Structure 1
Amino acid sequence: MRINVLVAEIGSTTTVVNGFQDINSPRPKFLGQGQAPTSVLEGDVNIGLKAAIDNLAKNLGVSEIQYDEMLATSSAAGGLKMSVHGLVYDMTVRAAKEAALGAGAIIHQITAGKLKRTDIKNIKEIQPNIILIAGGVDYGERDTAIYNAERISELSLNIPVIYAGNIENQEEIKEIFLEKNIRLYCVENVYPKIDQLNIEPTRSVIQDVFEEHIIHAPGMIKVREVVDGPIIPTPGAVMEASKLLMENIGDLITFDVGGATTDLHSVTEGSEEISRILISPEPVAKRTVEGDLGVYVNMLNIVERIGREVLSKKLSVDIDKLIVEHKPIPKTPQEIEFVQALTQEAVLTALERHAGKLRFLYEAGGKTKVAEGKDLSSVKYIIGTGGALTRLPRGKDILSEVKEKSIVNLLYPTKEATVLIDNHYIMASLGVLSKRHPNAALLLLKESLGLK
Structure 2
Amino acid sequence: MNVALLVDFGSTFTKVSAVDLDPPRLLARAQAPTTYATGLEQGLERALEALREALGGRLPAFRHRLACSSAGGGLRMVAVGLVPGLTAEAARRAALGAGARVLATFSGVLRPADLDRLAELEPDIILLAGGTDGGNRTALLDFARALARCPTGATVVVAGNREASPDAAAILEAAGKAVRVVENVLPRLDTLQVEPAREAIRRVFMERIVVARGWKEVESRLGSILMPTPAAALRGAELLAAGAGPEEGLGDVLVVDIGGATTDVHSVADGLPTDGKTVLRGLPPPRSQRTVEGDLGLRHGAPSLAEAAGFIVPDGAPGPWQDRVRRRAADPAFVPGPRETEERLADQELARAAVRLAVERHAGRREALATPHGRRWIQRGKDLRGIRHVIGTGGIFRHAPDPAAILAAALDPQDEGPVLRPRQARLWVDGEYLLSHAGLLAAVDPAAALKLLKAGLVPVGQA
Q: TM-score under structure 2 normalisation?
A: 0.82
Are the counterparts in 2 of residues 424 and 448 from structure 1 also a CA contact under 8 Å? yes
- Residues 302-351 of structure 1, C-alpha deviations (whole Å, 9 max, x = no match): 44525479xxxxxxx96666556556322224132221121112111212
Counterpart position of 2:289? 286
Give structure 1 stretches of 5+ with no counterpart: 310-316
Counterpart position of 1:79? 74
- Residues 278-324 of structure 1, C-alpha deviations (whole Å, 9 max, x = no match): 21122222222222222222334444525479xxxxxxx96666556
Question: What secondary structure, in the 3-state scheme, does the structure 1 residue paired with 2:163 have?
Answer: helix
Counterpart position of 2:380? 372
Counterpart position of 1:41? 37
Counterpart position of 1:313? none
Matches within 5 A, 1:309-388: 326=328, 328-333=334-339, 334=341, 335-361=343-369, 369-388=377-396
Task: Give 2:395's aligned amino acid.
Answer: G
Matches within 5 A, 1:153-172: 159-172=154-167
Q: Which deviates more from structure 2 when the two are superposed, residues 137-146 or residues 430-439?
A: 430-439
Pairing 1:433–2:410 present:
no
Question: What secondary structure, in the 3-state scheme, does the structure 1 residue paired with 2:384 have?
Answer: coil
Counterpart position of 2:416? 407
- Residues 43-63 of structure 1, C-alpha deviations (whole Å, 9 max, x = no match): x11111111111111111124
Task: Give 1:371's aligned amino acid.
Answer: Q
Question: Matches of 1:296 and 1:158 in 2, distance apart?
Answer: 29
Question: Matches of 2:111 and 2:211 in 1, distance apart?
Answer: 27
Pair 159,256 (structure 1): closer, same or farther in 2 beyond 3 Å:
same
Matches within 5 A, 1:194-233: 194-216=189-211, 224-233=219-228
**Alignment counterpart, residue 244 of structure 1, candidates 239, 242, 254:** 239
Are the counterparts in 2 of residues 374 and 411 from structure 1 also a CA contact under 8 Å? yes
Are the counterparts in 1 of residues 91 and 102 from structure 2 also a CA contact under 8 Å? no
Pairing 1:31–2:34 present:
no
RMSD: 3.4
Question: What secondary structure, in the 3-state scheme, does the structure 2 residue paired with 1:403 have?
Answer: coil
Question: Matches of 2:144 and 2:454 in 1, distance apart?
Answer: 45
Q: Which deviates more from structure 2 when the two are superposed, residues 168-177 or residues 362-371?
A: 362-371
Counterpart position of 1:146? 141
Name the structure with the higher helix share.
Answer: 1
Question: Matches of 1:148 and 1:394 in 2, distance apart?
Answer: 50
Q: Which deviates more from structure 2 when the two are superposed, residues 30-39 or residues 128-137?
A: 128-137
Question: Matches of 1:175 and 1:233 in 2, distance apart?
Answer: 30
Question: What secondary structure, in the 3-state scheme, does the structure 2 residue paired with 1:140 have?
Answer: coil
Question: Matches of 2:148 and 2:218 in 1, distance apart?
Answer: 28
Task: Give 1:143's aligned amino acid.
Answer: T
Identity of aligned residues (%): 34
Counterpart position of 2:246? none
Question: Matches of 1:4 and 1:146 in 2, distance apart?
Answer: 53
> Post-superposition shift, 1:87?
1.5
Question: What secondary structure, in the 3-state scheme, does the structure 2 residue paired with 1:207 have?
Answer: helix
> Post-superposition shift, 1:121?
4.2
Q: Which deviates more from structure 2 when the two are superposed, residues 366-375 or residues 347-356?
A: 366-375
Count the aligned residue pairs: 438
Counterpart position of 2:453? 445
Counterpart position of 1:95? 90
Are the counterparts in 1 of residues 273 and 379 from structure 2 also a CA contact under 8 Å? no
Give structure 2 stretches of 5+ with no counterpart: 244-248, 314-318
Counterpart position of 2:316? none
Q: TM-score under structure 1 normalisation?
A: 0.84
- Residues 158-199 of structure 1, C-alpha deviations (whole Å, 9 max, x = no match): 654323333333444455566678654444433333233333
Question: What secondary structure, in the 3-state scheme, does the structure 1 residue paired with 2:78 have?
Answer: strand
Q: Which deviates more from structure 2 when the two are superposed, residues 88-97 or residues 58-67?
A: 58-67
Question: Matches of 2:143 and 2:446 in 1, distance apart?
Answer: 39
Task: Give 2:281's aligned amino acid.
Answer: I
Question: Matches of 2:88 and 2:320 in 1, distance apart?
Answer: 46
Are the counterparts in 2 of residues 290 and 350 from structure 1 also a CA contact under 8 Å? yes
Are the counterparts in 1 of residues 441 and 449 from structure 2 also a CA contact under 8 Å? yes
> Post-superposition shift, 1:64?
4.5
Question: What secondary structure, in the 3-state scheme, does the structure 1 residue paired with 2:289 have?
Answer: strand
Task: Give 1:74's aligned amino acid.
Answer: S
Are the counterparts in 2 of residues 40 and 220 from structure 1 also a CA contact under 8 Å? no
Pair 306,38 (structure 1): closer, same or farther in 2 beyond 3 Å:
same
Question: What secondary structure, in the 3-state scheme, does the structure 1 residue paired with 2:428 have?
Answer: strand
